[in-house]
Amino acid sequence: MTKLFKPLKLRDLEVRNRIFIAPMCQYSCENQDGVVNSWHEVHYGSRSVGGAGMIIVEATGVSPEGRITPWCAGIWNEEQVAAWKRVNDIVKKHGARTAIQLAHAGRKASTQRGWDGKSGTISVADRGWSTVSATSEPFEGYEPPRELQTAEVFEIIEEFKSSAERSVRAGFEAIEIHAAHGYLIHQFLSPLTNSRTDEFGGSLENRARLLLEITKAIRSVIPEGMPLMIRFSATDYRDGGWDLEQTQQVAQWCAEAGVDLFDISSGGLITGVKIPSGPGYQVPLAIGVGEVIVQPVAAVGQITTSAQAEKILQGGGVEVIAIARASLRDPYWPLRAAAELNVEVDYWPTQYLRGKWPKD
């Protein structure tokens, strides 16, 4: 048996293999209301048919202002719950587990979607909104945010909490907190974007307070058997910024607060840094986080082949492989991987048996 196809148990949730589809924004709520639609049903449904163990759906706003773009998904109202329920029913019917990535974009909110050929902030006049952050310093090329008042930070914790409660009702089986890629929680974590003087700024403990409070609030409203995960950027690639050592410490605190898996990415907070990208370039960061906790870690980033994924797991220190862009090219990536690694899986769709790898 390969490691890639060994089932995984997270609390009460059985996952059929170690292949997770990484969260990927679809920017496809065409009415700009955060309500997912047939695109999302087909997109996530195909990846479930394709054999994924878990699908972590796109960054989903806990409030309208928390969305990255006006076309991003949301979970702040009941219409959104009903729409996500339809997606989740399809995903679960075809065997994958379904997780939501709860997110607030902070100073990186209200932006254009890349494929429209524009970049930067969408103005309020153009159906955008004013942004908020731990700081009043802008992300380069974007409009400056307003620094959140302390009372408003507590409101955001409540928004994550109520969104988690709605996510359970929408049929999600796990939750991932988005603390990566320079979005709001990362803006609080990093000393580069947090110069606050209240209890949410200063020491590491204070900068991590928002994430810890969100973690505890979510854990208090979701079922005991439901897994909770966090995505971190493990470094800002800048001296004096967020780094692996701080990630390790905060991951330990989060583990004590009931987090079951750490999904390790990097970067996204600031521009102008040199990222050493290449195949599997974030794997050492995942291993580094895994060294200080007992919970499993997921590696992501330029993992594209089944042999590479299996080798990473065989190397130890990483329990899950998350695939993003390779799964856009090939929704059946997990089924292909099973064939390539000579694993017989019992979830090859019967409708597709005549096309089963290896071809005759």
25 is a contact residue toward ligand FMN (CB under 6 A): yes
300 binds ligand FMN, rule: CB under 6 A: yes
To the query of whether residue 183 is one of the catalytic residues in this protein, the response is yes
Binding segment (CB under 6 A) for ligand FMN, from list 73-81, 129-137, 250-258, 297-305 = 297-305
User: Binder to ligand FMN among 10, 15, 59, 335 (CB under 6 A)?
Assistant: 59
Sequence letter at residue 55: I
Residue among 183, 237, 332, 347 flagged as catalytic: 183
* Residue 181 contacts ligand FMN per CB under 6 A: yes
Binding mask of the shown chain, residues 226 to 255, with x at each position contacting ligand FMN by CB under 6 A:
-----x------------------------
Q: Residues 332, 340: contact at Cβ < 8 Å?
A: no
Binding segment for ligand FMN (CB under 6 A), chosen from 18-26, 86-94, 127-135, 244-252, is 18-26
Binder of ligand FMN out of 302, 305, 308, 343 (CB under 6 A): 302
The residue (of 286 and 303) whose beta carbon lies closer to ligand FMN is 303
CA atoms of 162 and 165, how far apart (whole Å) = 5
Given the DSSP bridges, would you call strands 97-103 and 320-323 parallel, antiparallel or unpaired? unpaired
The answer to whether residue 265 forms part of the interface with ligand FMN (CB under 6 A) is: yes
186 binds ligand FMN (CB under 6 A): no
Q: How far apart are CA 134 and CA 198, in angstroms?
A: 11
Nearer to ligand FMN, 146 or 325 (CB): 325
Cβ nearer to ligand FMN, comparing 273 with 326:
326
CA distance 350 to 33: 37
- Please choose, from the candidates 140, 153, 221, 161, the residue with its C-alpha nearest in 3D space to the C-alpha of residue 184: 153
* Footprint of ligand FMN on 91-130 (CB under 6 A): 101
Beta strands in 70-156 (DSSP E): 97-103, 132-133, 146-147
DSSP 65: G
Among 4, 10, 15, 22, indicate the residue that binds ligand FMN (CB under 6 A). Answer: 22
Closer residue to ligand FMN (CB): 114 or 225: 114
Residues 36, 52, 58, 156: which binds ligand FMN (CB under 6 A)?
58
- What residues from 142 to 171 belong to the interface with ligand FMN (CB under 6 A)? none
CB 283 within 8 Å of CB 299? yes
Return the HEC string of 216-251: HHHHHHCCCCCCEEEEEECCCCCCCCCCHHHHHHHH
Smallest gap from Cβ 181 to ligand FMN, in A, equals: 6
If DSSP codes are grouped into helix, strand and coil, which group holds residue 107?
helix
Cβ contacts of residue 134 below 8 Å, gap of 6+?
106, 147, 148, 184, 187, 188, 193, 194, 196, 200, 201
Torsion 272-273-277-283 (CA) sign: negative
When binding is defined by CB under 6 A, the residue of 292, 326, 341, 343 that contacts ligand FMN is 326
Q: Which residues are catalytic?
A: 183
Q: Which residues bind ligand FMN (CB under 6 A)?
A: 22-25, 58-59, 101, 178, 180-181, 231, 265, 300-303, 323-326
